[in-house]
Amino acid sequence: MPTKYDPKEAEAKWYPYWLEGKFFNAERNAEKTPFTIVIPPPNVTGNLHIGHALNNTLQDILIRSKRMQGYDALWLPGMDHAGIATQARVEGRLKEEGISRYDLGREKFVEKVWEWKDKYAEIIRRQWSKMGLSLDYSRERFTLDEGLSKAVREVFVRLYEKGLIYRGKYIINWDPETRTALSDIEVEYKELKGALYHLRYPLKDGTGYIEVATTRPETMLGDTAVAVHPKDERYQKLIGKTVVLPIIGREIPIVADDYVDREFGSGAVKITPAHDPNDFELGRRHNLEQILVMDEAGKMNENAGAYQGMDRFACRKQIVKDLQDQGVCFKIEEHIHQVGHSERSGAVVEPYLSTQWFVKMGPLAEEAINKQKSEERVAFVPDRFEKIYLHWIENIRDWCISRQLWWGHRIPAWYCGSCGEMTVSREDITTCPHCDSTELKQDNDVLDTWFSSALWPFSTLGWPEETEDMKHFYPTDVLVTGYDIIFFWVARMIFTGLEFTGENPFKNVLITGLVRDAEGRKMSKSLGNGVDPMEVIDQYGADAMRFMLATGNTPGNDQRFRWERVESARNFANKIWNASRFALMNLEGFTAADIDLSGNLGTTDKWILTRLNETIADVTRLLDQFEFGEAGRSLNNFIWDDLCDWYIEMAKPHLYGENAEAKKTTQSVLCHVLDQTLRLLHPYMPFITEEIWQHLPQSGASITVAPWPIVDETHHYPESVKQMGLLMEVIRSVRNIRAEMNVPLSKKVELMIKPTNEEAYSLLSQGEEYIERFCNPQKLEISLSLGVPDKVVSAVVTGAEIYLPLAGLIDIDKEIARLEKDAEHLKNEVERVNKKLVNQGFVAKAPAHVVEEERAKGKDYQEKLEKIQVRIQELKN
RNA sequence: GGACGAUUAGCUCAGUUGGUUAGAGCGCUACGUUGACAUCGUAGAGGUCGGCGGUUCGAAUCCGUCAUCGUCCA
């Protein structure tokens, strides 16, 4: 084995091996408890980003650990057709060739998108494999594939038949850039500095004018009323009168409506029912005409008179100028307001009157709310996200699901050119069921991408068929996703899941934060600060990236991407590699059958086995609680500190020594501990653990299916932890003295240790060989009755006093100063503890064991302090 | 305007039901190539846990309030 771990080699070797062995394929075994995760399907628009890497790593850790724990683990992969995003990308590509989608026509264009999809699906699969994800590719799905399309149709038709899907003419959010309707949540509101334009509309009777204010003056071309508050005294006598709309000359009424805010502006508002949601509602109450003044591209239409053909913003400029010239616009104020932008294209969203399809949310939301308030709620992790979800679903509005795109699930509604009836159908139809005419035309629109994503946890398992997979693996166990799509996706999966399967689609939702750049900025294409996970893997290996992401922080919080942290993780991998290399070099000829822990275990053996037990318990518990960071740190500490820094060093004398029995015991312990540790680490670092494990004396096919370690009660020795503690403390003190007194390890010195009692004496005597090895003394004396020389450097630990006679080598004043510093520190501790103990409240109210611990601490500090003070006195004499 | 989150060592972050001498990695300082590893080892410096007030025998941890930054919702 080389001295450095080569990630590329291991990664290239093991992923194909895993696939060939079908280790990732779920069994659908009735004997086993299923554990299911469906991957949040990435968009087929392009490459995976570092956020996917985080999200997928966490899922892989979960699924790998559950698989090893004996569950029938299914991690189902798939991709999303991502309507607007994908269509926009393909259109962009065509544009480079000077072609628009209209040049190609719908059919040809969709063919092009499928080509794109095939290409990127392949890229994404390759990226998944690079990351080492244990996905069951035999069950991979795509939101537009046949089965899922069938599920989409089924859901659409059922909701339609139930009256929960309807078609109608309403104000929706229109994106003039991509020329499609958007749902409410696809609109991002940004605070912008705009203007409030004050206009005077003249009364028809010539008795004056009424003042209105607007932020979108171009919409005045579509005004069909002016509204005032019915109780507004200023306007009482104007209600019912008629004004003449400037420029257009249309006569429009002044109406009274409670909706009007008397405080805002002049208290009178212009009403444009076709371009504003509130005006739309008001217009319906007052039977006002709805006049659209723009087309789908955001250009002024034939109703805009002279402005026809102008872009909406150009028109705004021009119309303001014209209104000013006419004296209609008499004041322009700076005005900061929230302006909706398309989440996809960034274009300013236009409230627009349009015929669209909607999901009626009331009944669906109610069911979801009730469920969430019952025992059968979805567990959000961290739980604060539950509130965010509930608040949203409790205030939800109907969902606009039709999109004026070509890429997506086409709406299964047909219009008859003969009788004019509309038919919604599961199957494509060619004749009208109402009049038998064949003049049928399918609705041009497609469904919101999230409509199909909402069905993902069950449509991927074969629903609406009653498949075996559905019966066995549904509902799923955990959904891992970012907080940015709780509304878009999580909420919608929950209410569709409840409606169509009667259950929550998942038991837990693990919410992750965003991976930001090193400065804490959101990664974005425009900033160019994104980190490509493939580059990270290329430089440091997949395991390092995974470990870094998984231990980066706590669930739900954002984390910053820092290369130094990837480097640390890479170093950790290398540490494991070298520890294993050491072990393997000393396990020559040793087989799995040779492992024997029944022999005469030493304190260090007992200690490392006990620490292993603790680590197994911690990691298992923490993973169940989704505490990936803590579990990873626990493993890091165990491997680096306990295993490498102490156990391996202490194993050396046995491995190199003549005692065959001791050697075999040490080999057994080392081999066992390493094997168990690799298994615990495997979910985080699949490649390196497999690579090493395959070198280890063991008989399994792959660590991916090796049983998860369990706490071994027969090898649990809590007293060994205390015993090792003393040994470690003695060794550390000697090192500390050597460092502080500038006595390098190469310099042999005499070392005298005076244990405080028989027990400590026995322990330290047993550990003599280790003290020799770690402290490199010329002569070591451990005795309860030591004749301490005058010129000596010393230290006091709990259980022993340590002396290094360094006559002539040291500066007495320096040693006194060093001891006084220790004494000072101990004095503070003694004082702190005493203060607690004299406090009657503490002694009376604190739990007995806490008081007892505090007393013991106080006694220990006091004893150490006294001993140090004695040493100081002796040096001063 | 409402809700939530963050504020802990120079930097990035842990700290899970209130009781640890407040931790890690990186960085820094000083030593060190002893037969796994310099992608390393040993030792060390560095924090009044954002401010104020409260609850409690005891607060980084619970409550209130303020400040700064950030996110979501309206």
Query: What tens digit of pLDDT does each residue of A396-419 get?
Result: 889 999 999 999 999 999 999 889
Confidence at residue A591, expressed as pLDDT on a 0 to 100 scale:
87
Which residue in the block uniquely carries the two structure tokens 């020795």?
Answer: A717
Confidence at residue A235, expressed as pLDDT on a 0 to 100 scale:
83
- Measured CA to C1', the nucleotide nearest A861 is B21
Per-residue pLDDT tens digits for A743-765: 877 778 889 999 999 999 998 99
Q: What is the ipTM of this complex?
A: 0.95
Q: Is A846 near strand B, with its CB below 7 A from some atom of it?
A: yes
Rounded to 5, what percent of chain A is helix, strand, coil?
Answer: 50, 20, 30
pLDDT higher than threshold 70 for residue A807? no
pLDDT band at A9 (very low <50, low <70, confident <90, very high): very high
Percent of chain A whose pLDDT exceeds 90:
55
Contact present, A454 and A444 (Cβ < 8 Å): no
Confidence at residue A260, expressed as pLDDT on a 0 to 100 scale:
85
Which structure tokens are listed for A820? Answer: 């006084």
Mean pLDDT of A809-818: 80
Close Cβ partners of A614 (under 8 Å, ≥ 6 residues apart) = none
Which pairs from A809-818 meet CB under 8 Å and 24+ separation? A809/A741, A809/A743, A810/A741, A812/A875, A814/A741, A815/A741, A815/A875, A816/A872, A816/A875, A816/A876, A818/A740, A818/A741
Q: What letter represents residue A637's amino acid?
A: N
pLDDT higher than threshold 90 for residue A468? yes
Percent of chain A whose pLDDT exceeds 70:
100
Per-residue pLDDT tens digits for A341-387: 888 888 899 999 999 999 999 999 999 999 998 889 999 999 899 99
Close Cβ partners of A715 (under 8 Å, ≥ 6 residues apart) = A597, A601, A606, A609, A610, A613
Residues 565-594 of chain A in contact with strand B via CB under 7 angstroms? 565, 567-568, 570-571, 573-575, 578-579, 581-582, 585
> How many angstroms from the chain centroid is the CA of residue A609?
34
Contact present, A479 and A37 (Cβ < 8 Å): yes
Q: Which of A205-214, A308-317, A622-631 is predicted most confidently?
A: A622-631
What's the mean per-residue pLDDT of chain A?
91
Is the omega angle on the peptide bond into residue A464 within 30 degrees of 0, that is, cis? yes
> How many angstroms from the chain centroid is the CA of residue A2?
36
Distance CA A267, CA A257 (A): 11
Q: Which nucleotides of chain B does any protein CB come within 7 A of?
A: 3-6, 12-16, 19, 21, 24-26, 30-44, 56-58, 71-74
CA of residue A847 to C1' of nucleotide B54, angstroms: 24
The CA distances from residue A582 to A48, A576, A644, in Å, are 38, 10, 10
Distance CA A651, CA A569 (A): 26
More confident position, A525 or A612: A612
Q: Is A845 near strand B, with its CB below 7 A from some atom of it?
A: yes
Per-residue pLDDT tens digits for A54-90: 999 999 999 999 999 999 999 999 999 998 889 888 9
Confidence at residue A26, expressed as pLDDT on a 0 to 100 scale:
94
Distance CA A18, CA A703 (A): 10
Confidence at residue A20, expressed as pLDDT on a 0 to 100 scale:
96
Per-residue pLDDT tens digits for A243-285: 988 888 888 888 988 888 888 778 888 999 999 988 898 888 8
Q: Is A633 near strand B, with its CB below 7 A from some atom of it?
A: yes
Confidence at residue A808, expressed as pLDDT on a 0 to 100 scale:
67
Nearest residue to B40 via alpha carbon and C1': A575
Distance CA A606, CA A597 (A): 10
Nearest residue to B3 via alpha carbon and C1': A388
pLDDT higher than threshold 90 for residue A686? yes
Residues 514-533 of chain A in contact with strand B via CB under 7 angstroms? 520
Contact present, A800 and A760 (Cβ < 8 Å): yes
Q: Is A862 near strand B, with its CB below 7 A from some atom of it?
A: no
pLDDT higher than threshold 90 for residue A598? no
